[in-house]
Structure 1
Amino acid sequence: MADQLTRNTPETAAPPAEPSRTRRPRLVVGGRDRTAEVAFAALVLALVLLAALTSDTFFTPTNLTNLLKQMVTTGLLAFGMLVVILTGGIDLSVGSVVAFSGIVTAGLVADLPIPAAMGVGVAAGIVFGVLNGVLVARFGLAPFVVTLAALTTIRGLAFVYSEVPIAPEEPGFFWLGSALLGPVPLSTLIMLAVFVLGGIFLTRTPAGRAIVAIGGNAETVRLAGINVRRHVVLAYTISGTCAGLAGVILASRVGIAQPSVGVAFELDAIAACVIGGASLAGGRGSARATLGGVLVLVLINNLLNLYGVQSYWQQVLKGLIIVAVILVQRGNRPRWS
């Protein structure tokens, strides 16, 4: 008995049970946790109420139409960025692709039919997306390095094509960016269609589900017999396509294409994804939540513009928002001591 008592030392004794943590209240509807969605809707409502109470021009038809048009570029880039982020990657070249696609389209409308010129602009984005995807997937290069190199290279190609802005005179060129279907801009409906179809793609198709799974565990996906490289290339191709389309629509809306446009557009796209709850580590995010992130970001930008805040302070705020949301996401994960 004495031997047994001496053997029961602190080293061999069972460790004390860790005190249970108090769980945060959650709103579960239909078996799904809706807490984040309700919080997101409350944030949007708060921004709208703030705008209504502090600005006389927010709810004017002109401002609302401009708000819907401003969503388009950020929205298209954000969806393409979301698909790449879901794989665990990043695409820093989207702003440069916007500039290149826009200026190529504007330069070709004098020699080609307008739909053909716009098709060339979108095709340029597709080509850049494929090249990024091949370098990342086939050669195993880091997405940050590849797309950072693409950012500078594509921007340089835009200046090679034209060092000065190009302003097409063909009236039909402005139709895509300015046409209205009732009170809603056509370009906004195109963006919404991309999100709807993109959401179906990510959740209802084998390729979309594979892209999401790659960000969670690429090795498991490979062992399941899925071609990881092909789906990574597809993700970057989608991002390039969205960036090319955004460049064409932006040039059509403002009526002029510049090789310098699109600087820091990738920050807006990443911010919208992160605000929408996408994880930069990959494997988590949705089209619907990202669209909500776009709406929040555009509302904030619109309010700051109405208040006369300088653009560089807006960039500071976007950076702080990204850091704050990432800290909140990290705080919701289990912590191990």
Structure 2
Amino acid sequence: MVIAISLLSDSFLTPDNGWNILRQISVNLCLSIGMTLIILSGGIDLSVGAILALAGAVAAGVLKNGIALPMFDILLQFSLAGAVVIGIAVGFMLGWFNGFVITRFRLPPFVATLGMFSIARGLTMLWTGGFPVTGLGEDFSFLGTGAVFGMPMPVWITLALVVLFVVITRKTRFGRYLYAVGGNERAARLTGINVNSIKIWVYALGGALAGVAGLLVTARLDSAQPNAGLGYELDAIAAVVIGGTSLSGGRGTIMGTVLGCLIIGVLNNGLFLLNVSPFWQQVIKGLIILIAVAIDRINANDQER
């Protein structure tokens, strides 16, 4: 794909475009790491784009306007670090609620997270009044547009997250339990693993990573858009599946997801440089997801034989 696009466009194989691709995939990579954990556990999350929007809006709102407590005649003001923590905490709590509903009431993850999608979108509109929150300051914008040692800040942040979750999934007890739950939930219960706890933590981490993605989007635009994150679930699921994670759970890696994000990023960038219609881009990504899932099912059937 890289060879084909570079032959068709002189602007593709340039350092600036390379950094641009990495900067563009940083948001999707944050979402996709969380989605990888969720899919490894045998679940799915359709609410990450909506959680992204709400987390970004809340962080922007408390940073710019603070939180008023009329009963006590108090206005709480937040620093940049405080706003970042609030944004991630919002994502964590919404993800935790997803996991709690799924485990406590045994709802299908598809249904539970679809409900959260609607809840988070509505809360975003209520928080912002349907209008963007702008003028967040240079310090906040630095998270999305700044660079350290020539590398964009979003790339630094996602690189740190990749290293962290590679270690978690490969070297920790939580990682081993995660694969066990996704591979065979009944067997995991019989061996004494607290399956419900693992699932709740997985969805909570997915929500927190969606919160990080919301901060990056908001910082890059220097505004919190009420409709931010629309359709981001598609790219996240596509990256995870293309990266080799099985939709049935128990098989996949974070590094595979990184590769999947790179493939999606290169594809999006190449289609843009070649002036392909955005509508055709959606068609092509949808076909890629179908092909990736079909290959996954063929591989799974071969292993069962």
Change (3 A) 1:182 1:54: farther
Equivalent residue runs for 1:59-78 within 5 Å: 59-78=13-32
Q: 1:161 aligns with which of 122, 127, 130?
A: 127
In structure 1, distance between residues paired with 2:5 and 2:243: 21
Q: Give yes or no for contact 2:136–2:223 (8 Å, CA) kept in 1.
A: no
- Corresponding residue for 1:196? 163
Residue of structure 1 equivalent to 2:85: 119
The CA distance in 2 between the partners of 1:327 and 1:171, in whole Å, is: 46
Equivalence for 2:69: none
Change (3 A) 1:169 1:89: closer
After TM superposition, give the deviation of residue 169 of structure 1 in Å: 4.1
TM-score (norm 1): 0.83
Which whole-Å CA distance do the structure 1 matches of 2:304 and 2:212 have between them?
Answer: 44
**Is residue 146 from structure 1 mapped to residue 112 from structure 2 by the alignment?**
yes
Superposed CA deviations along residues 137-196 of structure 1, whole A, max 9, x for unmatched, are 122111000000000110010001111111124221101111212232121121121111
SS in 2 for 1:119: helix
Partner of 2:39: 85
Identify the residue that residue 97 of structure 2 maps to in structure 1. Answer: 131
Q: 1:306 to 1:217 in 2, by over 3 A?
A: same
Partner residue in 2 for 1:307: 274
Does structure 2 retain, via aligned residues, the 8 Å contact 1:275–1:293? yes
* 1:295 pairs with 2:262: yes
Tell me the amino acid that sits aligned with residue 117 of structure 1. A
State how far apart, in whole Å, the 2-side matches of 1:122 and 1:336 are.
40
Q: By how many angstroms is 1:64 displaced?
A: 2.3
Q: 2:281 matched to 1:327?
A: no
Whole-Å separation in 2 of the counterparts to 1:269 and 1:106? 24
1:270 shift after superposition: 0.3
Q: 2:224 aligns with which of 244, 247, 257?
A: 257
Asked if structure 1 preserves the Cα contact closer than 8 Å seen for 2:51 and 2:120, the reply is yes
Instruction: Give the whole-Å Cα distance in 2 for the aligned partners of 1:308 and 1:115.
Output: 40
Which residue number in structure 2 is paired with residue 231 of structure 1? Answer: 198
- Aligned pair count reads 291
| CA deviation vs aligned residue, 1:267-311 (integer Å, no higher than 9, x gap) | 100000000011111111100111000000000000111112222
For 1:242 and 1:166, the matched residues in 2 are separated by 21
- Given that residues 99 and 261 in structure 1 are in contact (C-alpha distance below 8 angstroms), is that contact kept between their aligned partners in structure 2? yes
CA 336–211 in structure 1, closer or farther in 2 if over 3 Å, else same = closer
Give percent identity, aligned residues only: 40
The worse-fitting range, judged by mean Cα deviation, of 152-161 and 182-191 is: 182-191
Gaps in structure 1 of 5+ consecutive residues: 1-46
Show the counterpart of 2:240. 273
Maintained 8 Å contact 2:142/2:153: no
Retained in 1: the 8 A contact 2:180–2:188?
Answer: yes
1:209 to 170, 176, 185: 176
Measure the CA separation in 2 of the matches of 1:67 and 1:234.
Answer: 31
**Counterpart amino acid of 1:154?**
A
> Aligned pair in 2 of structure 1 residues 52, 336: CA closer, same or farther (>3 Å)?
closer
* CA distance, structure 2, for counterparts of residue 177 and residue 79 of structure 1: 19
1:48 Cα deviation after fit: 2.0
Where in structure 2 are the equivalents of 1:43-58 lying within 5 Å?
47-58=1-12
Rg larger in structure: 1
How far the C-alpha of 1:253 sits from its partner, in A, is 1.0
TM-fit CA distance, 1:59:
2.8
Give TM-score scaled by structure 2 length: 0.92
Moved more, 224-233 or 172-181: 172-181
Please list the CA deviations of residues 247-276 of structure 1 after superposition, one character each: whole Å capped at 9, or x if unmatched: 001110121211101111011000000000
In structure 2, which of residues 39, 57, 63 is the aligned counterpart of residue 109 of structure 1? 63
Would the aligned equivalents of 1:79 and 1:195 in 2 still touch at CA under 8 Å? Answer: yes
Given that 1:109 and 1:168 are in contact with CA atoms closer than 8 Å, whether structure 2 keeps it comes out as no
User: Equivalences for 1:1-16 in 2 at 5 Å?
Assistant: none
